[in-house]
Structure 1
Amino acid sequence: MHFPKPAILLLPLPLVFAAALAQAQDWRPDTPGTQHQIKRSDLPANPKAGDPEGSLPATVKVVSPPAGALPKVPAGFTVQVFASGLDKPRTMRVAPNGDIFLSETGTGRVLVFRANAAAPAKPEVFAEKLDRPYGIVFQPAANPQYVYVAAANQVVRYPYHSGDVKASGPAEVLIDNIPTKRHWTRDLALSRDGKRLFVSIGSSSNLGVMPEKKPADIQAYEKAHGRGAAWGDEENRAMVRVYDLQTRKLGTYATGLRNCSGLAMQPGTDNLWCVVNERDHLGPQVPPDFMARVGEGDFFGWPWYYLGDNEDPALKGKRPDLKGHVRTPEVLFHPHAAVLSLAFYDQNAFPAEYRGDAFVAMHGSHSAPATGYKVVRVRMKNGQPTGGFEDFMTGFALTGDSTWGRPAGVAVTRDGALLVSDDAKGTIFKLTYKK
């Protein structure tokens, strides 16, 4: 099954309640089930650009959780601590046999929890000595022979047989010398036919600090790197790259994505989706983070544009040739929510209306008032997003400037539970539903 590529405009959103961006900036506790819709018409028309590369103050503090605190989830769901004592647990991926693979970025390890592990679960060390491992994928998908891991500086693969909890051979480097300045989260996804590996590589700056190029030189550069591709320190960054597993050739798949922190293939389709952290210098309401279906050759605007033909005021008039060529994403989130990962729900343990929807982890904003710090459910209909989303797992943020957790990874287990990693406190939560 393959759904047609979406048009540039956002899809109709008749069934979701609107939530103005301005309201999101007045901090208030989130509640499971609260629905949101952010539209382009909610955005301020003329945002003012601040210092593009100025550092943002980290005014939201991570504090100790209240005694006995657990995240809030919808009625009928139960949440428990599945594992704890981890060092910055991030991406989780479930092997075909049900084993749970975890990137523990604080130690440079890839860990494995057995499929039947009960809380408090203890992992095995599958691989170690990696530079901030993040993305994980199994290939071939149904009966894997390899586990691919994306570290900050390279993509490697390990030989694998179902049930392995330790790599049976050394890492084979497939993609090397990835620059690590600034954004270092490299996620992975595999094409449905198992022939192509997608790799997300974020930018090295907030707004693309690049030397000047003549128009003719830009045109020649884009023939090799893709429409809207940045250059200088940003060469081969702010994009999704694609690696042909047969020819071993690496190329550009999509451009203009400041930091695509999470990749996922929509089950049963050829549709690649990513969640993106947008730029920081246009204030608290612009631009939204987003979730988008990413097609080959798509350009999403960074650094010159955002959300279609909205020109970044800091780069006004620099690239008029790109106007009209910017893909608009399907789902908009609150600005600075720091979306990190997504997972489609393809099991049957949750109520039927959840099947096909996506869960997205929001790591949370650097500065107050707190935005994000939750897991949201992106509603889908016939394989297409409605454009809206609703709060699903909340309760981490205590006030507008403090939180006791930061959701980082989401994964759906073989028995239909949802796992959520919290890299602030080194915990994995497990959510189940009782019928």
Structure 2
Amino acid sequence: MTTTRQTCAAAAALASILSTIGPSNAQPVTLRGQDAFGDWQRDKPGTVRLIKPEDLPKPGATPSAANVSRVVARPDSTKPQVPPGFKVELFADGLSGPRIIRTAPNGDLFVAETRAGRIRILRAADGAPKPQISEVYASGLSHPFGIAFFPDGDDPHWVYVANTDSVVRFPYRSGDLTASGKPETVVAKLPTGGHSTRDIAFTPDGTRMLVSVGSEGNDGEGMGRPRGGLQSWSRAHALGAAWGAETNRAAVLAFDPDGKNQKIFATGIRNCVGLAIQPQTGTPWCSTNERDGFGDNLVPDYVTRVRENAFYGWPWFYIGGNEDPRHAGERPDLKDKVTVPDVLLQAHSASLGLSFYSGSSFPPEYRGDAFAAGHGSWNRAKRTGYKVVRIRLKEGVPTGEYEDFVTGFVINDSEVWGRPVGIAVAHDGALLVSEDGNGTIWRVSH
């Protein structure tokens, strides 16, 4: 026979469970400050994070961990997780390390199979769950990554490809499935070695071609001394290129569309892997990998607007005027010149591809927001990244918040099945996500 005491105890236990689960219509959880650091076990579509510069720990607050993930085959019936109201489907598989995806004006999807040295085209009708056509557009390339169409509009004449050592372009007519001519070298030489990815974008007026070039090393190990001393470097561009092995690296470079008139657009950006133009404002943005070796929660990766002539700190400072202890006392003159990035991500997320949502099939509040792909950590005791996040904007301006949008690529503390890289908005408004662990592309629709 159940006693009153037992009934009360059961009710209390149930209330405790319900308070943990929350009501079915609960608002998304927002994690702030150090609570936002977390790891993959706290990732869930809809979870919002806000990390500010004042939340950062001191260098070495935790040991620097080497925790490389092991990529395994995707378990049967396993697929990514997305927010309520969205659907995720396997769009393409069997690809060779698909990385950046770009949507041509006619809806064709250009995919960089970087390690294989080729660009592939996938063609799918609007709403189709699978591509009907898969063709190699061009091969024999040197670790191709960035892809851009020029000029802007419905009838581009060129497809630009950013190799690790050069920028080339192919003559293009809408609907081409294979390159209609040999590539023309536009930028004959980019710095090679170290971080190999090069992304590419054009300013809205079509007068400038932007190319991102990551650093050669982690923290400026090969920089040496500047020619003419510290002050000559500062006079040339207090915000300019580094020197030695880092000359014209850790930067966004600007060229004419034909590759002439090279300039530094912005620098101090350790590795701007994803480069995208915000449609609403025409402003370039970078998805950036920061330095390793300072512990689990330092230095945050970031997604940010990139201002011309701005300096983002690498390698002397990070996230504003925080001095890198490996470079203590070297450049005090630059401390107050550091631009603070807009959106700080969990450290070591390895933020790669970046795309702005310009479709109309997602709810209205998504339009104009950005999506960034986290390839996943190795320099963290508890892994993070391995997901796609939504960068929240308000009237075109980042709020500093980001939201877990596609998760579920991690199996356990040592194994993962997917490593997100590229993001594109399909012609029908779906979001496409590539991952190079198992060579798949996923389609997220609403």
Instruction: Say whether the fold is shared (TM-score over 0.5).
Output: yes
2: CA distance between counterparts of 1:278 and 1:35?
21
**1:104 alignment partner, one of 101, 113, 128:** 113
SS at match of 2:398: strand
Which amino acid in the other structure matches residue 285 of structure 2? W
Closer, same or farther: CA 163–215 of 1 in aligned 2, 3 Å: closer
1:21 to partner: Cα distance: 3.4
Which gives a bigger RCO, structure 1 or 2 (Cα 8 Å, sep 6+)? 1
Q: Describe the shift of the 1:49–1:180 C-alpha distance in structure 2 as closer, same or farther (beyond 3 A).
A: farther
Corresponding residue for residue 169 of structure 1? 181
User: How far has the Cα of 1:331 moved from its partner?
Assistant: 0.3
Question: Partner residue of 2:435?
Answer: 422
Contact 1:405 1:425 in 2 (8 A): yes
Match for 1:28 among 41, 58, 73?
A: 41
Instruction: Map 1:310-349; keep pairs closer than 5 Å.
Output: 310-349=322-361
1:218 maps to amino acid: L
Cα deviation, residue 61, structure 1:
1.4
Pair 1:269-2:281 in alignment: yes
Amino acid aligned to 1:124: E
Aligned amino acid, residue 91 of structure 1:
I
Mapping of residues 398-409 of structure 1, within 5 Å: 398-409=411-422
Residues 1:178 and 1:81: Cα distance change in structure 2 (over 3 Å):
same
Q: How does 1:27-426 map to 2 (within 5 A)?
A: 27-47=40-60, 57-116=66-125, 118-121=128-131, 122-142=133-153, 143-210=155-222, 212-213=224-225, 217-224=229-236, 227-245=239-257, 248-367=260-379, 368-426=381-439
Q: How far off its partner does 1:217 sit?
A: 2.6
Count how many residue pairs are aligned between Structure 1 and Structure 2.
415
Deviations 1:162-190 (A, max 9, x none): 11111111111111232321200100111
Match for 2:395: what amino acid? N
* Deviation of the 1:24 alpha carbon: 3.0
AA at the equivalent of 1:136: I
Matched residues in 2 for 1:404 and 1:212: separation? 40
Secondary structure of residue in 1 paired with 2:159: strand
Once residues 203 and 49 of structure 1 are traced to their aligned partners in structure 2, the CA distance between those partners, rounded to angstroms, is 25
In the superposition, the TM-score normalised over structure 1's length comes to: 0.91
Cα distance in 2 for partners of 1:429, 1:212 equals: 44
Aligned counterpart, 2:5: none
Structure 2: gaps spanning 5 or more residues? 1-27
- Paired position in structure 2 for 1:9: none
- Residue 69 and residue 46 in structure 1: after superposition, are their counterparts in 2 closer, same or farther (change >3 A)? closer
- Give the counterpart letter for 1:361 in structure 2: A
Q: Quick check: 192-201 or 223-232, which moved more? A: 223-232
Q: Counterpart of 2:365 in 1: which secondary structure?
A: helix
List per-residue Cα deviations over 1:167-221 (Å, max 9, x = no partner).
1111111112323212001001110011111000000000112454379533334
Deviations along 1:33-65, one digit per CA (max 9) or x if unpaired, are 0111111121114547989xxxx7353211222
Deviates most, 296-305 or 239-248? 239-248
Tell me, in whole angstroms, the C-alpha distance in 2 between the residues paired with 1:40 and 1:343. Answer: 24
Matched residue SS, 2:273:
strand
Query: Could you tell me how far apart the structure 1 residues matched to 2:198 and 2:251 are?
Result: 11
Normalised to the residue count of structure 2, the TM-score between the two structures is 0.88
Runs of 5+ unmatched residues, structure 1:
1-14
Go from structure 1 to structure 2 and tell me whether the alpha carbon gap of 1:318 and 1:96 turns closer, same or farther (over 3 Å shift).
same
Displacement after TM superposition at 1:116 (Å): 1.6
Does the 8 Å contact 1:101/1:111 carry over to 2? Answer: yes
The aligned residue for residue 7 of structure 2 is none
Deviations 1:299-319 (A, max 9, x none): 000000001100001110000
CA distance in 1, matches of 2:169, 2:352: 23
| Partner SS, residue 73 of structure 1 | coil
How far residue 75 of structure 1 moved from its aligned partner, in angstroms, is: 1.0
SS at match of 1:18: strand
Shift in Å at residue 71 of structure 1? 0.3
Query: What amino acid maps onto 2:207 in structure 1?
Result: K
Q: How far apart are 1:77 and its partner, in Å?
A: 0.9
Partners of 1:410 and 1:211 in 2: how far apart? 33
Bigger helix share: 2
How much identity, in percent, do the aligned residues show? 48
Mark the CA change 1:61 to 1:24 in structure 2 (over 3 Å): closer, same or farther. Answer: farther
Q: Secondary structure at the match of 2:232?
A: helix
